[in-house]
Chain A
Amino acid sequence: MRVLVVEDEKKTASFVRKALQAESFAVDVMANGEDALLAAASTPFDAIVLDIMLPGRDGLSVLRQLRERNNTTPVLLLSARGEVNERVEGLNAGADDYLPKPFELAELVARVRALTRRGSENKSTGLRVADLTLDTVTHKARRGETDIELTAREYRLLEFLMRSAGRLCGRMMILEKVWDYNFDPGTNLVDVYVRRLREKIDANFEPKLLHTVRGSGYVLKETP
């Protein structure tokens, strides 16, 4: 997997590169829009992380140019402005995801991973992690031989975690996908829901499946 990072701020570019490399991505870094377009034209990338505020040609213009050239590489936009309008504008221009600055590294990595897996996502109606199963048609959850009652919101949370099983899910990402919040509500809503869900799917069972990655988010997987 090869990712292009377009970011003119050197320190940000450096830790984004390190974090993605740690997840075994090959990373190219470009500091301006023109170089990014040249790189994207000559190398097939699996994803592009694109800062909107770039010297010279800005990120949105780079994105439009890419899409005009029929380049369909998934793009994650980064922006320090973080306006709802800008997010809409970015998605309209052909971006696949949008992350306002300041962002959390874990969040960024999780999103890039989700982008590169796009298309190969688990779309089956029966989800399974260890002995936990979820039927997305009947909304029935079972752990081993025990039926688990879920509220609508808990179901959506569990479905999201199970579809991204084994991958870290950041709080913002969960808020976006499960609650459809595009703002940080400044509450511990996600943590409280995860705690409830954990009581239902993990409390009386072994092994534990829903793990907290402190300071980053949650991951559903068999091995800790």
Chain B
Amino acid sequence: MTIRRRLTFWYAGILIVSLLVMGVGTFQEISEQLQHSHRKEPSEHALDETSEMIFQVGLPAGVLGLLGGWWLTRRALMPVTKLTDAVKTIHAKNLGAQIPRTNNGDELDRLTEVFNAMTSRLDDSFKRIREFTLHASHELKTPLTILCGEIETALRDESLPQSERDRLLSQLDEVRRLSKIVDGLTLLAKADAGQVALQLETVRLNELVRDNFADAQILAEPQGIQVELTACEEISVRGDRHRLRQLLLNLADNAVKYNQPHGGVIMSLLKSGNMAQFTIVNTGAGISPEILPRVFDRFFRGDPAHESIIDGCGLGLSIAQWIVSAHGGTIQVESVPSKLTTVIVRLPLDTPAKTA
């Protein structure tokens, strides 16, 4: 049934009910007047009687009409509100989810159908892009393997002049860098496609943080950066040990790389409610507020001028963000430009209920 027809029926219903109320009220008033008509002078009370009739009969009918109208518009717009709410929840990650339909064949049901068809077409396109990235990174691996192997084979030649050797070594460095980028890209493409399974176990996060602290001290030593671990509470989380180590090392490495000589790095691991909170602060140049929301974007570099001196594949924070969200946690970056940059990671604690 179309909306127009349905609305007409409902409106007719409201009118009939109002008329009925009015009719019944008028009937009662008139019969009362007929009973008393011989005792009173009708002309004296005619005005009073009329206003009483309007008050007792017209008002309820009017109120009924108003309430009915309000109900009618609400009822008519409800499917639109529902559709709006459903559409609001759609984003790139759940394009496959369909909005529930009423199946009553009206205009809005057809709109929902068209909308669902549109999101599934979008979903297909997104899938195709993800597959493309995944295939592209796989396809790149074979030529990279060959390139790396050929250069290494050439370097084995003892009679190679030093200048030639240096050139090949520089090429090899670039091939390695490319390999790292491709590795990172493959990992993220797989994560997007939901193809990376975590090897979940109970992980003593404090042990990983202590190990990471030791590694960070070594990494920071050449630049004279001081690394401190101010708190390390005994905390277990349910997670993938290798991925969590990758996350911690990644953050520590960033805190050192984007620091200033003789700067500082402060780490802490604390319980905060039902979450484990790992905080790492560095005294680097900081990140300006305009670019802060983009630091997790793939290949995003805050300061193009520093790009060449800081070696890395530009995917570190994207990978860190993926690891955190795959563990059901959150990661956030705060920065006071030219003073401090703080990265806060929150991961759900390993609760006995979850492991049971």
Of all chain B residues, which has the CB nearest A79? B141
Q: Within the assembled complex, what's the spacing in Å between the Cα atoms of A186 and B196?
A: 20
- Give bound CA distance, A121 to B152, whole Å: 27
**What is the 8 Å Cβ interface bit string for chain A, positions 190-210, against chain B (1 contact, 0 not)?**
001100100000000000000
Q: Cβ of A18: which chain B residues have Cβ within 8 Å of it?
A: 153
The answer to the question of B190 belonging to the interface, with a C-beta cut-off of 8 Å to chain A, is yes
- Cβ of B155 within 8 Å of any chain A Cβ, yes or no, is yes
Chain B residues with Cβ below 8 Å from A185 are 246, 249-250, 253
Interface size counted on chain A using CB atoms at 8 A: 39
A103: which of B148, B150, B155 is its contact (CB, 8 Å)? Answer: B148
Chain B neighbourhood of A100, CB < 8 A: 183
Verify if A67 is at the interface (C-beta below 8 Å from B).
no
**Proximity string of chain B (212-225) to chain A, C-beta cutoff 8 Å, 1 when within and 0 when not:** 00110011011000
Smallest CB-CB separation from B144: which chain A residue?
Answer: A102
Nearest chain A CB to B40 CB, angstrom units: 97
In the complex with contacts A185-B250, A187-B253, A19-B152 CB distance below 8 A = yes
Q: How many A-B residue pairs have CB under 8 A?
A: 107
Number of B interface residues, CB 8 Å?
44
Binds B, one of A56-64, A80-88, A124-132: A80-88
Shortest distance in angstroms between B69's beta carbon and chain A's nearest beta carbon?
62
**B242 proximal to A (CB < 8 A):** yes
Among A12, A84, A106, A189, the residue within 8 A (CB) of B145 is: A12
Proximity bits, A115-156, B CB within 8 Å = 1, else 0: 000000000000000000000000000000000000101000
Task: Tell yes or no: B101 within 8 A of A by CB.
Answer: no
Q: Which residues of B contact A19 (CB under 8 A)?
A: 149, 152-153, 156
A105 adjacent to B149 (CB under 8 Å): yes
Give every chain A residue within 8 A of B215 (Cβ-Cβ).
153, 189
Q: Which residues, 21 to 75 on A, are CB-close (under 8 Å) to B?
A: 22
Given contacts A12-B149, A181-B245, A215-B155, contact A82 B218 (CB under 8 A): no
A82's partner among B169, B186, B214, B253 (CB-CB below 8 A) is: B186
Q: How far is the CB of A224 from chain B (nearest CB, A)?
A: 14
**Residue from A80, A83, A214 in contact with B190 in the complex, judged by beta carbons closer than 8 Å:** A83
Q: B221 and A192: CB pair below 8 A?
A: yes
Q: Are B142 and A12 in contact (CB under 8 A)?
A: yes
- Name A213's closest neighbour in chain B (CB-CB): B155
Interface positions of B from 145 to 203, Cβ below 8 Å from A: 145-150, 152-153, 155-156, 169, 172-173, 175-176, 179-180, 182-183, 186, 190, 195-197, 199
Show 20 residue pairs from A and B whose CB-CB distance is below 8 angstroms, ordered by the A residue.
A12-B142, A18-B153, A80-B141, A82-B183, A84-B196, A85-B199, A102-B179, A104-B176, A151-B214, A182-B242, A183-B242, A183-B246, A185-B249, A186-B313, A187-B219, A189-B249, A192-B221, A193-B218, A215-B155, A215-B173
